[in-house]
Structures are given as C-alpha cells and as structure tokens.
Amino acid sequence: MDRFLEIKQNLNQVYERIGAAAMRAGRKSDEVKLVVVSKGQPLEVIQAAIAAGAKIFGENYPEEAIEKIQAVDSADITWHMIGHLQSRKAKLVCDHFDWMQSLDSLHLAEKMERLLAERNQPLPVLLEFNVGGEETKSGWLAGEASNWPQLLPEIRQILEFPHLQVHGLMTMPPLTANRDEARIHFKKMVELQKYLRKQFPQSNWAELSMGTSSDYEAAVEEGATFVRIGTSILGPRPDRPLSQLTKLRQV
Ligand SMILES: *Cc1c(COP(=O)(O)O)cnc(C)c1O
C-alpha cells in the first residue's frame, strides 16, 4: 500500500482508539494530544504524516531533529523534545524546539534557563520522572512515594525559573513492561501529579505525557494528556547504525 495512505489509516485508527479510551474513562478525546514520534524516520515520512493531519512531532536527538524542523519549516507544526538531553546540547533545543518534555535534572534546567534568559524566550517543559525504577532510564527516581519529599527542593528551584514554564509531568515506562505493568506506572504518575499539585498549588501540573504504541490506550484511560506514538503510526523505524541503536534502547 502507498505509504501516505498507510500513515493516514494508522493515524485515523490511533485517533479512534484514543477517543474510545477517553470515553471509557469518562474523559473528552480533545483532552488528549497526540505526539507523533518521528525519531529515526526520514523527512518523507514526516511529510506524509503532516499531509495526513499530524500536528505535533516528538524527536529524541537534537541534531537529527533540527534538519527535519528546518526542512518542514511550518508554523502549524510543533516539535517536542522527548529524549534524554545532554546539557551541552541544551542550546539546540532552546533554539529549535517548541516544547521540552524530557527535563530530567536541575543541572539541565539551570543551563536551559540561562540560555532562555539570554533570549528572553519562554519554553514550556515537562518534568520527567522514572517510576519504573530502571537505572538506565533518565528522570527523577519516583518509584517509591516515600522518596517524593526528597525531590521537592530541586523541583521548587525549577518552578522558580522564570523562562522554564513547567506544565506537568512525563514518563517512559520500562520497555519490558506489559500493559498491566505499564498501567501501574501510569497510576503512580497520577498519584505523583496529585502530590505535586498539593505541594505547589500555584504551579501548573495539568499535563501528563505518558503512553507509547504499546500502551497508549491504558495511558489515556488513566489520565494522559499527551501520548507519544511512533511505530503504530509511522511503521517500524529504519535500521540505524549500532551506536544509535544502543542509544535508542536507553531512551
Ligand atoms: C521512541 C519513543 C516513543 C514512541 O515509541 P513507539 O513505540 O514507537 O510508539 C515515545 N516516547 C519516547 C520517549 C520515545 O523515545
């Protein structure tokens, strides 16, 4: 089948499933925003997705993403950074992305705040939490609720940065997790969201970015406001060099 038609059908099916999952949970489908994850995918595939109606793209590697962002060059399309970001690449994200979903350390936050202050430019961000307990995963370790109070001083500092605009939370459960395990992680994120809302009631905790191709319906049922879906819409990612593959497994 034609690649464009295939992507269009996949996209429609994902929208339908998001809508059905939202309805099962008594939510409205427009509460859930779809991030089409285009890491590793060539420009033609992104253009096909745009033609089919995709509006938000998620990328993991800044250099790879910037080429696509510049080639697409459209004000209707927004780009979300969703992968672990080394602080020496913070500038690339501040210059080219619309959202930073994977803010995972105070060090990175300080660097980004400095860069954004120079430009007098705000950037919406999500704080990434690791509720699955995998050591290779990035994000603040938040698998045990008893550890949450220890996270508050760093979060407080980030909330005070004027240019980093915190909108909520993001997580990436372990790849090994099955649907039921993933749901446990999603529920924990909702608990963490409630906890942070109580601790910092003046701040904005509305957004919850969770759920990928393998578990997005459960994520929507549990309260996701962003789902990040790659392969179910764009198909398998093309083979990449081994160095990139090991990186991929870490995100
Ligand atoms: C790759 C990736 C996704 C999408 O995964 P799929 O299985 O292709 O849907 C979502 N979130 C993050 C952080 C990713 O790295």
Whether pTM exceeds 0.85:
yes
Question: Is the pLDDT at 176 greater than 90, yes or no?
Answer: no
Distance 188 CA to ligand 1 centre (A): 20
Which of 104, 228, 229, 250 to probe ligand 1 with, by most ligand atoms within 8 A of CB?
A: 228
Which of 11, 13, 18, 37 to probe ligand 1 with, by most ligand atoms within 8 A of CB?
A: 37
In the chain, domain spans:
3-245
Is the distance from the beta carbon of residue 80 to the nearest atom of ligand 1 less than 6 Å?
no
Question: If you compute the radius of gyration of the chain from its CA atoms, what whole number of angstroms results?
Answer: 17
Determine the Cα–Cα distance for residues 90 and 109; give it in Å rounded to an integer. 9
Residue 240 pLDDT grade (very low, low, confident, very high; cuts 50, 70, 90): low
Is the distance from the beta carbon of residue 8 to the nearest atom of ligand 1 less than 6 Å?
no
3-245 homologous superfamily: Alanine racemase (3.20.20.10)
Is the distance from the beta carbon of residue 228 to the nearest atom of ligand 1 less than 6 Å?
yes
Note the pLDDT tens digit of each residue in 41-56: 999 999 999 999 999 9
Note the pLDDT tens digit of each residue in 103-114: 999 999 999 999
Residues 6+ apart with CB under 8 A from 143: 130, 131, 132, 133, 188
- Compute how many other C-beta atoms are within 10 angstroms of the C-beta atom of residue 197: 14
Helix runs in 105-202, H state only: 106-119, 148-160, 179-199
Question: Is the pLDDT at 175 greater than 80, yes or no?
Answer: no
Determine the Cα–Cα distance for residues 114 and 116; give it in Å rounded to an integer. 6
